[in-house]
């Protein structure tokens, strides 16, 4: 009899939990999205940074180039990775480039649900990530309130593993 009572209680709790989860999902409001249906990236939503990762001890030099992130006209953002001519006069014989997009200075969200649908590369040599950055992430005053980088996922082409991380209070000596 006691066993039967526990099963009923569990069943009733599951019903209430399901109702609460449904209520939460119904009350969510979409505040920002991009379906990439335009001919070019929407500059009001996206920034395309250019960046050179010099002296990368973990692998070849890497570049973020604007021309390597573009829309394909079918609702997809393409972030291309490719081998390019060497642009550094160091000992590294190769350079690679990829695109990057970010909402820095255009949109920032404190709480909520974040989604991405993506296809990741399979060939070696890539560096892929889905990060959330707070604008103050590079500040350092040891308060822990300077901003956080949340790595939803990040992977590198020399391993088949993905990682996730939280970085806070800047990237200096105390990081």
Same domain for 115 and 175, yes or no, is yes
**Could you say which of 72, 102, 132 is where a domain stops?**
102
Strand pairing partners for 135?
none
Nearest to 116 by CA among 138, 106, 104, 101: 101
Tokens 């920032």 — which residue?
108
Same domain for 42 and 91, yes or no, is yes
Q: What is the pLDDT of residue 132?
A: 84
Say whether pLDDT at 69 is over 70: yes
Same domain for 48 and 9, yes or no, is no
Same domain for 64 and 92, yes or no, is yes
Nearest to 154 by CA among 117, 132, 127: 127
Same domain for 98 and 116, yes or no, is no
Number of domains making up the chain: 3
Task: Tell me the pTM.
Answer: 0.69
Q: What is the DSSP letter of 145?
A: -
**Could you say which of 102, 122, 154 is where a domain stops?**
102
Range of the domain at 26: 1-30
Same domain for 9 and 50, yes or no, is no
Q: Residue 88, SS3?
A: coil
pLDDT in tens, 1-32: 444 444 454 455 555 555 545 455 567 889 99
């Amino acid at each position: 009899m006691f066993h039967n009572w526990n099963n009923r209680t569990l069943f009733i709790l599951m019903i209430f939990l399901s109702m609460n989860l449904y209520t939460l999902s119904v009350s969510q409001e979409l505040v920002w999205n991009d379906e990439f249906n335009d001919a070019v990236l929407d500059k009001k939503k996206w920034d395309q940074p250019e960046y050179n990762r010099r002296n990368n001890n973990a692998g070849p030099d890497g570049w973020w180039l604007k021309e390597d992130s573009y829309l394909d006209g079918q609702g997809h953002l393409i972030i291309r990775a490719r081998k390019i001519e060497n642009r550094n006069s160091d000992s590294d014989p190769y350079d690679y480039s990829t695109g990057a997009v970010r909402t820095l200075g255009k949109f920032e969200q404190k709480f909520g649900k974040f989604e991405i649908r993506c296809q990741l590369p399979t060939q070696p040599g890539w560096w892929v990530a889905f990060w959330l950055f707070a604008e103050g992430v590079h500040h350092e005053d040891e308060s822990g309130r300077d901003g956080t980088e949340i790595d939803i996922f990040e992977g590198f082409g020399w391993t088949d593993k993905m990682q996730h991380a939280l970085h806070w209070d800047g990237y200096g000596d105390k990081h």
